[in-house]
Amino acid sequence: MAATGVELLKGEANIAKEFEAHHRRLIIAGTIGNVLEWYDFAVYGFFAHEIGQVFFPSSDPVTSLIAAFGAFAAGFMMRPFGAVVFGHIADCRGRRTAMTLSVLCMAIPTFCIGILPGYQTLGSSAAVILVLMRMLQGMSVGGEFATSLLYLVEHAPVGRKAFAGSWGAAGATGGTLAGSAVGFIINRTLLPEQVALWGWRVPMLLGLAVGLAGLFIRKHLPEESEKPDPSQTPPIVIAFREHWIDMLRIAGVMLMGSVGFYLIFVFLTTYLSQTVKVPLAQALEVNTISMIVLMFLIPFYGHLADRIGPARIVTVAAFACMVLALPLFWLLHHKNPWLDLLGELGFVMVIAPYQGSYPALVVRMLPQKARCTVLSVGFNLCVGLIGGTTPMVASYLIAKTHNDLSPAWFLMTASFITLITVIMWQSKLKKAGHAADTTLT
């Protein structure tokens, strides 16, 4: 009898180990896929200055930069369209199918940008082709990221859903970090003239290998246990007819992250090098260190969100961003590498809690039907229309106001809207008789 009890305990322990191993594999696959895809998309932003000179030459460097960020924004404009297409595929054909297809739509355009001749060879056609490639990239990310977040949270065990979802955000941060690190290495090893002439193309050419690796990883994700019913009303119809308020609410939650991430971790390298006048290699070094810290903090706050609730953490983070955005931007404006690092790390301490908590929060807001379409459209309406234009808007604000700290007000406004959105959602839950903020079940 005792032996039987011991065997039973060993069997339960083995089942628990297998469950944990399965959960780790899901997190690793989802995280690595995001790393690979966001590397492709973000590396453009770190070489915006060089790309502007190649494809949008102008006697005024600011004009070239704004045009290059305009092409960056064009990719984001396609994200809502990608959300509709890939959200429909995910709801009708499964999450894995959508996530696998999206990788292909990223790798090929990235490689094409790397080999695309510039304005001097093709004239204005070069700029047109560049924008088209960026639009294909934007469509890919628009369909992939929200789908992967939903996949991670849905497949996570009870009490660990926020932690699992946080790894999706950490993966996106890791991809952006990889782009920043590659940019730092290239700027450290090549002369500025070499970077401008051909060095910026190297990360783009690596995009094909990165994309093929991502395709292999995504093809081996486990399929959903429940298959969607193909005879049901199309998910896009359900989303816009019955859940448009949910999509707007998700967009409101995402506003702080959309502006904050692309302002601090994409635009800021250009801001430090072009506006503050520090060496680009130094700006990339500061950005790389900050993103390493951010990537490690995001899962910590995801774990914390499982304990105290994601809405509480997002609320505190949004309020802190409203209060600290202006003084942190002021720290970045001293041409001192230590103050630059301190300022960006300050933003990390504000944004990391948000990044670790928002995936679980927005998934909790979703309806049962057309979940991926609702999340993808709401998410990408905000990130595509606001996040993608953030570097361009920040450049425009500085040029027009002649105030180098003006982008801080943009971030403060976005944080305020996110704060109000979460407070109103919690108020709605209270009126409906539900707990305003509990751990996910």
Tokens of 118: 């510039």
In this structure, is residue 8 part of a structural domain?
no
Please, what sign has the CA dihedral across residues 68, 73, 77, 80?
Answer: positive
pLDDT-based confidence at 351, cuts 50/70/90? Answer: very high
Residues 261-318 pLDDT 10s:
888 887 888 888 878 888 877 887 888 888 899 989 999 999 999 999 999 999 999 9
Per-residue confidence at 5, pLDDT binned at 50, 70, 90?
A: low
What pLDDT score was predicted for residue 32? 66
**pLDDT above 70 covers what percent of the chain?**
83
Q: How many distinct structural domains can be found in the chain?
A: 1
- Domain membership of residue 11 (yes or no) is no
Q: Which residues are within 8 A (CB) of 372 and not within 5 positions of it... i.e. 6 or more apart?
A: 87, 90, 91, 95, 98, 146, 147, 150, 235
Q: How far is CA 421 from CA 250, 315, 427, in A?
A: 9, 9, 10
**Quick one: tokens of 212?**
């093929």
**pLDDT at 228 (0 to 100):** 55
**Which range, 6-10, 149-153, 214-218, is most confident?**
149-153
* pLDDT of the residue at 19: 47
pLDDT tens-digit series, residues 324-338: 999 999 988 887 888
Check residue 8 and give its pLDDT.
47
Q: Where are the beta strands (DSSP E) in 250-332?
A: none
- Give tens-digit pLDDT for 374-426: 888 888 888 777 887 888 888 888 888 888 888 999 999 999 999 999 999 98
- Indicate if the pLDDT at residue 25 is higher than 80: no
Kindly state whether residue 437 falls inside one of the protein's structural domains: no
How many helices (H) and strands (E) are present in the chain, helices listed first? 19, 0
CB-based contacts of 281, cutoff 8 Å, min separation 6:
184, 187, 188
Average pLDDT over residues 5-19: 49
CATH number at residue 305: 1.20.1250.20
Is 14 within a domain?
Answer: no
Angstrom distance (rounded) from CA 404 to CA 394: 9
Query: What's the rounded mean pLDDT across residues 139-150?
Result: 76
Average pLDDT rounded to a whole number, residues 12-30:
58
Amino acid 322: pLDDT:
95
Does residue 287 sit within a domain?
Answer: yes
In a domain, 76, yes or no: yes
Domain that holds residue 162: 27-220+233-431
pLDDT score, position 4: 60
Residue 346 has pLDDT above 90, yes or no: yes
* 27 contacts 169 by C-beta, under 8 angstroms: no
Is 331 in contact with 280 (CB distance < 8 Å)?
no
pLDDT per position as a tens digit, 161-209: 889 889 888 888 888 778 777 887 888 888 888 888 888 888 888 777 7
Examine residue 16 and state whether it is found in any structural domain, yes or no.
no
Rounded Cα distance between 304 and 363, Å, is 17
Q: Is position 104 within any domain?
A: yes
